[in-house]
Amino acid sequence: MCAGLDNGLEIPLGPIVTCDMSAPEPVLMGRKRALPACPNPLFLKWLTELRDEAKEKGQKIQYTYQKAINSLNKYPLPLRDAREAKILQNFGDGICKILDSKLQQHYRECGEHTAVGREVSPPGRSDDKSPGPSRKDQKRERGATKRKKREYAPQKGSGGYAVLLTLYRHSQVAGSKGFMFKMELQTQAQHLCQKSFTVPEIGSKYAAWSAVATLIKRNLLMKTHNPARYSLTEEGVSLARRLDSAACTSEASLEDDKEEEEGCPVAVDLTVSDEDDVNKDTVEPKCKTSSGERLLAGTFDIVLCVDVSETTGGSRNCKQELVTELRRRGVNFDIRKLNVGDFLWVAREKVTPASGHSRASAGRELVLDYIIERKRMDDLCGSIIDGRFREQKFRLKRCGLRRPIYLVEGHGKAASQLSLPEMTLQQAVVNTQVVDGFFVKRVCDIRESAAYLAFMTTHLSKLYQHVT
């Protein structure tokens, strides 16, 4: 049947069952209709989670997931399974396999009767006037999807985890400014993150700092002012509090296990016979172990042991400068992993190679009573915030060496870029000396630190050269 118009054109019409001219259907004009929501909300949800996870890890596959999301948003029909998604652009075998795995898990948890796409009225119903759901059904489905969606929680050791935890612990310290600058946040959060905040991994152009964008997008983190200041939102504080509680429980458990495994912290030491100050010449050292084993004068060398963390990671230029300065000053040092402290000294037995061998066997080593914990002002600030400062002092007291030293680097420099007031930092240094009984040495920079280490090595070599 055709309807004729005055201009002579005819428009074909489908078969008409009834025709009620008195009640014509209303025609919407003027404003464009809103685009319908994606008819495949589960696939969209899973792809978005995959993209965000890849973005946080700095993986290039995030762009592939984003292209797949764009294709899925343009497709107007519901998909029954992941195999049907292969007809869409950017849906390869890998993505379809992942979606199929998530779909099977969804069926196991919710039952196979649940639909993957948007619920549609059965085709046999006589009152089915449109292929899509009603507006009420759409709202109900969006609400159910939102309720089922898992709350975002960054993986332990990731950039997001480290940033949230550092900002939260900073906010709990008395006198805190309530925000942190980028550089100090990166410095203090680095020990909680398994990747570098500044240097991308091989094959990736993103460092761990890229996770900050995800935190801001999820309304967990705020970035304000210039230079940028970072602080937690209410949602960020709530999530970070839970992360901190879980971290504290885990650390306490590890510490208990460590104490059980280690028992006595030091089995062998090199003691000094009196309590005189290190600068006095009246000290009469005795090289012997707790079992009475001795090293006689001239049979050993005094060697400075440098913790590996003092030469790698973080600000590599500064740490290489320390090694360069020690070598320039002729210090006999060795780089190794230290369980406690950053520097200590050992008396290493001199061993001559046996006949027929080019190399000598390793000689015995006895640990001297002096151990140093080095603290830059920014590191001191961070360790106070995250609780490492108190823990490190406790471990130094338990290590069995009687002359612990705190080497405070950066003394006298402005603390305007740090999270804690300068008065708080200075008070912490004073308490370390007066309350805890540590000897505190203040230096300006890394060169003065190297000079002090060189002086101590020379002094201890002279102190122990006449041991009998």
Tell me the catalytic residues: 307, 310, 342
For 412-430, letters b (16+ CB in 10 Å) and e give eeebeebbbbeebbeebbe
φ/ψ (deg, to 5) at 11: -110, 120
- The three state secondary structure string of the chain is CEEECCCCCEEECCCCCCCCCCCCCCCCCCCCCCCCCCCCHHHHHHHHHHHHHHHHHCCCHHHHHHHHHHHHHHCCCCCCCHHHHHHCCCCCHHHHHHHHHHHHHHHHHHCCCCCCCCCCCCCCCCCCCCCCCCHHHHHHHHHHHHHHCCCCCCCCCCHHHHHHHHHHHHHCCCCCCCCEEHHHHHHHHHHHCCCCCCCCCCCCCCCHHHHHHHHHHCCCEEEECCCCEEEECHHHHHHHHHHHHHHHHHHHHHHHHHHHHHCCCCCCCEEECCCCCCCCCCCCEECECCCCCECCCCCEEEEEEEEHHHCCCCCHHHHHHHHHHHHHCCCCEEEECCCCCCEEEEEEECCCCCCCCCCCCCCCEEEEEEEEEEEEHHHHHHHHHHCHHHHHHHHHHHCCCCEEEEEEECCCCCCCCCCCCHHHHHHHHHHHHHCCCCEEEEECCHHHHHHHHHHHHHHHHHHCCCCC
Q: Indicate the residue type of 464.
A: Y
Residue 322 CB contacts under 8 Å (≥ 6 apart), including other chains: 306, 310, 311, 446, 449, 450
Contact 195/207 with Cβ under 8 angstroms?
Answer: yes
Residues with Cβ within 8 Å of 134's Cβ and at least 6 positions away in sequence, in order, are none
- The number of residues making up the chain comes to 468
